[in-house]
Amino acid sequence: RLDGSFDFPGVDIPTRGYSDVKVLILDRSSGTLLETVDYSRRGGEALVGKNQYSLYATLGERGNVLDDRYDTRGTAMAVQGRYGLGENFTVEFGHQSAGASSGTEIAGSIAFAKHWFGSLAYAQGEDTEAVELDLEGGNEIWSLDLNARQYRANERDGSGSQWLRSLNYRYQASDSLNLGLYGRDASTHHEQQQFVLPTVRWSDKQHLSASAWPNQNGHYRIDGRYTPTREATLRYTYEEDRHFLDYRHSTGASIEYYGNARSGDNLDPRYELGMIWYSENSLFARAQVGLVANGGKMGYSIDWDSQLLPGIYSRLKLSQNAYGTSQLDNEDMGLVLQWDLTLDFAFSRSRLIPTDSLSGSPTSAAISGPLLLGDAKIPSTLKIDKLAVIVDGDSHTATVRNGYYYLDGLKPGLHQVTLDAQYLPIELVPKPGQAFWVRLESAATTDVPMVLEARYAVAGKVLTSYGERMANEMLIILDSDGKTVGRVYSDNYGYYRADNLPPGNYLIEVKRDGQRVAAREMTITDDFLFEQDLVVPLNLHNPEQSTL
């Protein structure tokens, strides 16, 4: 610009976490560094981009309409909206009601001073008002989270102010050691706590890991994990005079065996042995069977998770003397039968898409888009129902319906997204060089079209005039423009195969000393070609290369 400033259109700066972003200004002729402009900053979960917004709403019924012991207490609803006034500032409004009770909140969130993010919220409802302040800071090495909430309870609960304050500091001392501090200051009608205690996490990045950190009561939880092989894991946990030991072994054939034991103060000893079976068949997605000894009684536990139809999930649980009363809020811990049926659909691109929100949340992000074959959407005859999407190097499984894919449960921020051929038909591959940097927003779906390409193979034999097979002959594949697109050799039995060929016209030839000694034209449309044999004339073949 004339005022000496610069614009960098099309460059996304993440709105979550700490982002190290620098602009280097170089001399055009000499390449000398003239200036470094630092745009590094820390974002927060509540931020959305400039002029972007998110809306979350839910509606339900209080109580249990299927059980006469529970009274229906009217409807419950909640709505929350966020709008980005700038890249670094977001305002928020929310309202919820449950029966005769209701509440409203307003909040503002801001990223500032490169390493810091803060938010201030005010809420009011039922003669109760609260103020909450959250301050987060950090970079790749350290992070600090300070939270303070102060509120005035209604007259029925007593008068006077109550508060909850917390501190969480973490420092990455090395690749294997993480140190920190955790503290709470609570003064409410339900608890009185005040402590600041150190935390530690250590891992050798291969077999061993250990950690110790305080819970909300100020008592340490100690966790140790030993992984001697990729198939076996042993874990021990200690918390408030309670012990838990768990061992798991995977066979590598979709079956996992496990055994665990639990004991401690105010707990009946519990022991369980069982197995978990994972299946590629969605109707039998996960089945678990366990034999339990609980409080001196023998029992069992059976769990079966399945996908009945796209977007319809079932979870069946059957147990006998497997759980204590504190887990089921039931005086009789005998036979328990529980069935959960979940209808799970996402609304994206003006359509309902079956999905699995168990991995998502109202604050997570999603990506969706058409699967294109060339310039057109993939035909329904290809029967693609899932897709392997690589996000920052990690593989995720996306749902595919009517030519569109959908993936939920991602962290907001800037991510690199590409495809993997894992679930694609053998003739389809992702378009080469297709890797996108995409900024994902909280509670929003970002459109990312993905292009596939058809690739086929041709196969045949190289023969002499007598029908003998010729080994180690080099074959050259030319496209319709005469450009070489591949070279292959016949094997010891005279067979050859050329892969990764898109639809089109091709010429396969055998050359010796620069002269063509055999050739064959072929056209690939929408299928693999076999028995594409080439015959070398009698006076040109080498007897030493012939095989029966």
Report the alpha-carbon distance of residue 130 to residue 185 in Å, rounded: 17
CA distance 182 to 196: 6
For the residues 178-188, what does the mean pLDDT come to?
A: 91
Q: Residue 131: what pLDDT?
A: 92
- Go through the domains of the chain in sequence order and give each one's CATH number: 346-454 (2.60.40.1120), 456-547 (2.60.40.10)
pLDDT, tens digit (0-9, with 9 covering 90-100), for 139-176: 778 888 899 988 876 655 555 688 889 999 999 999 89
The CA distances from residue 87 to 94, 111, 536, in Å, are 21, 9, 69
Lookup: tokens for 293: 């000894």
The tokens for 384 are 């693609």
Render pLDDT for 97-138 as a digit per residue (tens, 0 to 9). 877 778 899 999 888 877 788 899 999 887 788 899 989 888
454-489 confidence digits (pLDDT tens): 888 899 998 888 888 888 888 899 988 888 888 888
Is it the case that residue 548 has pLDDT exceeding 60?
no
Percentage, residues of the chain above pLDDT 70:
82
- Whether the pLDDT of residue 333 is over 70: the answer is no
What is the average pLDDT value for the chain, to the nearest integer? 81
CA-to-CA distance for 496 and 477, rounded, in angstroms? 12
Residue 188, pLDDT > 90, answer no
pLDDT for position 272:
94
Least confident of 183-187, 280-284, 372-376: 280-284
User: Is residue 492 a contact partner of residue 461, using CB atoms and an 8 Å limit?
Assistant: no
More confident residue, 220 or 434: 220
Task: Return contacts of 500-505, CB within 8 angstroms, 24+ apart.
Answer: 500/429, 500/455, 500/457, 501/455, 501/456, 501/457, 501/458, 501/477, 502/453, 502/454, 502/455, 502/456, 503/454, 503/456, 504/479, 504/480, 505/479, 505/480
Strand partners, 122: 106, 131
pLDDT tens for 22-40 read 677 776 666 677 677 665 5
pLDDT at residue number 69: 64
% of the chain at pLDDT higher than 90: 20
Mean pLDDT throughout 338-363?
Answer: 67
Give 3-18 pLDDT, tens digit per residue.
455 656 555 554 444 5
Q: Quick check: 237 pLDDT over 70?
A: yes
Who has greater pLDDT, 171 or 347?
171
Q: Strand 456-464 and strand 534-536: pairing? A: parallel
Q: According to the 3-state scheme, what is the secondary structure of 140-182?
A: CCEEEEEEEEEEECCHHHCCCEEEEEEEEEEEECCCCEEEEEE
Whether the pTM exceeds 0.85: the reply is no
Phi-psi region of 528 (alpha: psi -120 to 50; beta: other; left: phi over 0): beta
Lowest mean pLDDT among 66-75, 266-275, 421-430: 66-75
